[in-house]
Amino acid sequence: MSKSQVNIGFLIPLTNNLKEDDSASKLPISEGANVFGRNDICISDKRLSRKHITLNASIDGSVDVVVEGSNPIVINSGDQRRKLYSRDKIRIADGDILELIPGHYTFKYVRSTVDKHIASSQAHKRVSYKGKGVDEAKKLVVKRQRQVSEDEALARILQMNELPPANSNEGLEAIRHFSVPKEKFHLSFRLLQVQGLPPWANSSSISIGDVIQGDVLVAVLSNYMVDIDWLLSACPVLSKIPHVLVIHGEGDGGVDHMKRKKPPNWSLHKPSLPISFGTHHSKAMFLVYPRGVRIVIHTANLIYVDWNNKSQGLWMQDFPWKDQKDVKKGCSFETDLIDYLSVLKWHELSVNLPSIGNVTINPSFFKKFDYRSAVVRLIASVPGYHMGPNLKKWGHMKLRTVLQECIFDKEFKNSPLVYQFSSLGSLDEKWMSELALSMSSGLSDDKMPLGLGKPLIVWPTVEDVRCSLEGYAAGSAIPSPQKNVEKEFLKKYWARWKASHTGRCRAMPHIKTFTRYNGQNLAWFLLTSANLSKAAWGALQKNNSQLMIRSYENSVIASLR
C-alpha cells in the first residue's frame, strides 16, 4: 500500500450476494500506486499472488487497475463484464466491482467523498504552483482526455477478445460463414457440435448422427469409455447394424453393465494391457458400407458429455473397395492401419455381407479397401517395450519417422510447436526434449533440417474451468495432480486456452491437437487421442534403443506445407 496522505477511495469487500461484508476491513486507496494481493484479504489464499493487482490512483479520483499476477481478474462496470489477464490495464469508476480470481474475492471501488473536494483544490494548487496558469491547466485536461481515450480503446480491445454475442456482425464473420464444400466433407478435420453455443459456432460442426449414418453393414467402435444406454439413444441406427464390435477400455464394473445392456448382435473386446497404468485410450470408428469403408479418428469418449459439452474434433474419410486387379496393392496408410489393428487381437467375426458373401472381420479384412487417396498418415501407440525394427513403429518415434520424410517451407525453420491436450502426465525436462526432437523433425526445401521448435503447452486455467459450460465439473476431464502442474521447468511452456474464433472458449477441451506453425501458416497438424504423457507417446530407454509405451492411442497427421 502507498502511504500517501491523500485518500482517493476504498476497496470494500463484498459477500457472495454482493452486499458489503461488515466482517472484513476496507482497503484504503491513496494517491499513487497501491498494491493488493493475498496479504490484503482476511483469509490466506496462496492461489492469489502477493502482488495481484496495482491500483494507480490520481488526485481527481480516477483509478487505473493493472493485473500484476499470473491469474486474471474480472471488472464489472454497470452491465459490462470484462476479464483482464496478466499486464492488462483498465480504468475503473466509482461503484465498479473487482473480482480476484481464483477464489472469487470481490470488492467494490468507492471514491472517498471527503477527497472529492480536496482533489479539486489540489489540482488547482498544482497548476498554480508552477505558475503555468490557464494554458497549463488546459494542457492537463487535454492530456487526461487522451489517456481516457487510450484506456477506452484498450477496453474495447479486451471486449473484442471475449466471445461475441450471437447477433454480432463484427470481427469473426469470415470464420462464422466458413463451410466445407459437400464434396470434401469426408476429407475434413471437423469439430463436434456443442450445446448452448450460438448457431454460427456449430455451422460447420457435426454430431455422432452425422458420422454413423446410412446402411452400415459392420461397425467397429474403438474407445476408452462407452455408455451403451446413451449411445443407442443418440445414434439409433446402431441398433439396426447387423454386426457391431466394441473395443473398449472400461473396468470390470463397466464391462458387466455393457454385457447386460448390449444388443445380442454386439461383441465386446478389451485389448490386453501388458504394462501397469496403461489404458485402451484410442478413439476410432471403422464403418463398413456396401460401397466401401468410413474411417474416423476422433477425441470423444462414447458418453453424453463428450459429444455435447466439450471441444472435440475428428477426422474421417471414406475409402472404396479395391478393384480385383489392385487387391495386392497397398500404401503407407494401409500398412500402418493393419499393423495397429493386428495388435488389438479381437475375436474374429464371421459375417455374410450382401453382394460380398461370407467374410471374416479381422485385421486382414481391412486390406480389401483402397486407401491410396488418404490425405493423412496414421500414427498409433501400442503398449510394450519396442526395440529393433519396432522402435520407430509406434508413438513419438513413429511421428519422428513420418516427419523426416516430409519437406517444408523454409519459414518453418526453428518455428514453434503447440501441444494442446486435456490431461497432463508426470513430465521431466529430458522427456520434453525427447518429444520436441520428434515434433521438430523434417527438412526444409533446401534439404536442411528444420531445427528444434520451442513448444507451447495450451491448457485451461482454473478460471477457464469455473466459467465453462459445465462449471467445475469440467475439471474431471482435465486431470493432473498438482505436483505435476507446478513443476518449475514447465513455467516457460504455458500458454492460454483460447477458442474465440470457433465460439468454444467456454467449451472445455477434450480435443488433443499438436502442430507446428509460423504466423498463420501450419507446417503440419495432428489430431490425436494422446495426451501429453510418456504413457501415451512413449519414452526412450536403454540408451535410446527401446521405446516404452503404456497405452493404446490413435492419431492422424496432415502435412500442410
Q: What are 189's strand-pairing partners?
A: 315
Match 463484427 to its residue by C-alpha cell.
170
d(CA 96, CA 78): 7
Residues annotated as catalytic are 281, 510
Contacts of 310 (CB under 8 A, 6+ apart): 192, 194, 300, 470, 474, 477, 507, 508, 509, 510, 511
- What is the bridge-based pairing of β-strands 455-459 and 494-496? parallel
- Cα torsion 498, 503, 505, 510 to 10°: value is -90
Query: Binding site annotation covers 283?
Result: yes
Length of the chain counted residue by residue: 561
Contacts of 327 (CB under 8 A, 6+ apart): 367, 368
The helix (H) or strand (E) run that includes residue 402 is helix 395-404
C-alpha cell at 414: 526453428
Query: Binding site annotation covers 512?
Result: yes
C-alpha cell at 321: 473397395
The answer to whether 407 touches 444, Cβ cutoff 8 Å, is yes
Contacts of 433 (CB under 8 A, 6+ apart): none
Output the CA torsion sign for 97, 99, 104, 107: negative
d(CA 214, CA 199): 26
Binding residues for substrate: 283, 512
